Amino acid sequence: MATYTFPKDFLWGTASASYQIEGAWNEDGKGESVWDRFSHTPGKIKMGDTGDAACDFYHRYAGDIALMSDLGLNAARISLSWPRIMPSGKGQVNQQGLDFYNRVVDELLKRNIQPWVTLYHWDLPQALEDIGGWPNRDLAEYFRDYAAVVADSLGDRVKHWMAFNEPWIFTILGYLMGIHAPGRREPVAAMKATHTVNIAQGLAIRALRESRNKPAAVGTAFSMSPVHPRTDSREDRAAAERWHQFYNMWFLDPVMRGEYPQAYVQGSFADHVDIRPGDFDKIKAPLDFIGINLYTRAVVAHDPNDHNIGVAQVRAGGEEVTDFGWEVYPPALSEMILRVAKDYPDLPIYVTENGCSYGDAPGPDGKVNDQRRVSFLRRFIGEVGRAMQAGADVRGYFLWTFTDNFEWAEGFRQRFGIVYCDFDTQRRVVKESGHWYSRLARSGALDFDPPA
The least distance separating ligand FCB from the CB of residue 275, rounded to whole angstroms, comes to 27
Please tell me the distance from the alpha carbon of residue 86 to that of residue 119, in angstroms, as a whole number: 12
Question: Which residues neighbour 404 within 8 Å (Cβ) at sequence distance 6 or greater?
Answer: 55, 412, 415, 416, 417, 419, 420, 421, 423
Question: Does 353 help bind ligand FCB (rule: CB under 6 A)?
Answer: yes
Is residue 384 a contact partner of residue 445, using CB atoms and an 8 Å limit? no
Which residue, 22 or 166, has its beta carbon nearer to ligand FCB? Answer: 166
- Catalytic residue at 353? yes
Chain residues 207-236 in contact with ligand FCB, contact rule CB under 6 A: 223
Question: Which residues neighbour 126 within 8 Å (Cβ) at sequence distance 6 or greater?
Answer: 31, 32, 33, 34, 36, 37, 83
Q: Bridge-partner residues for 33, per DSSP?
A: 125
| E strand or H helix at 28 | none
- Which x/- pattern, by CB under 6 A, does the window 175-204 give for ligand FCB? ------------------------------
Is residue 300 a contact partner of residue 239, using CB atoms and an 8 Å limit? yes
**Catalytic-role residue among 32, 107, 166, 407:** 166
Whether the bond into 196 is cis, omega within 30 of 0? no
Which residue, 166 or 279, has its beta carbon nearer to ligand FCB? Answer: 166
Question: Does 169 help bind ligand FCB (rule: CB under 6 A)?
Answer: yes
Question: Does 398 help bind ligand FCB (rule: CB under 6 A)?
Answer: no
Question: Does 407 help bind ligand FCB (rule: CB under 6 A)?
Answer: yes
Question: Does 166 help bind ligand FCB (rule: CB under 6 A)?
Answer: yes
Amino acid identity at 422: D
Which residue in 287, 385, 370 sits closest to 333, CA to CA? 385
- Catalytic residue at 327? no
- Which x/- pattern, by CB under 6 A, does the window 53-92 give for ligand FCB? ----------------------------------------
Return the residue of 17, 140, 197, 290 that touches ligand FCB, per CB under 6 A. 17
CA 168 distance to own-chain centroid: 10
Stretch of 63-71, 165-173, 187-195, 387-395 lying at the interface with ligand FCB (CB under 6 A): 165-173
Is residue 71 a contact partner of residue 437, using CB atoms and an 8 Å limit? yes
The least distance separating ligand FCB from the CB of residue 258, rounded to whole angstroms, comes to 26
CB atoms within 10 A of CB 442: 13
Question: Does 311 help bind ligand FCB (rule: CB under 6 A)?
Answer: no
**Catalytic-role residue among 327, 335, 353, 407:** 353
The least distance separating ligand FCB from the CB of residue 414, rounded to whole angstroms, comes to 7
Helix (H, G, I), strand (E, B) or coil at 101: helix
Please report, for residues 54, 62, 309, 425, the alpha-carbon distance to residue 59 in angstroms, rounded to integers and kept in the order given.
11, 8, 45, 14
Question: Does 22 help bind ligand FCB (rule: CB under 6 A)?
Answer: no
The least distance separating ligand FCB from the CB of residue 192, rounded to whole angstroms, comes to 22
Stretch of 58-66, 161-169, 176-184, 442-450 lying at the interface with ligand FCB (CB under 6 A): 161-169
Catalytic residue numbers? 166, 353
Residues of this chain that bind ligand FCB (CB under 6 A):
17, 20, 165-166, 169, 223, 293, 353, 400, 407-408, 416
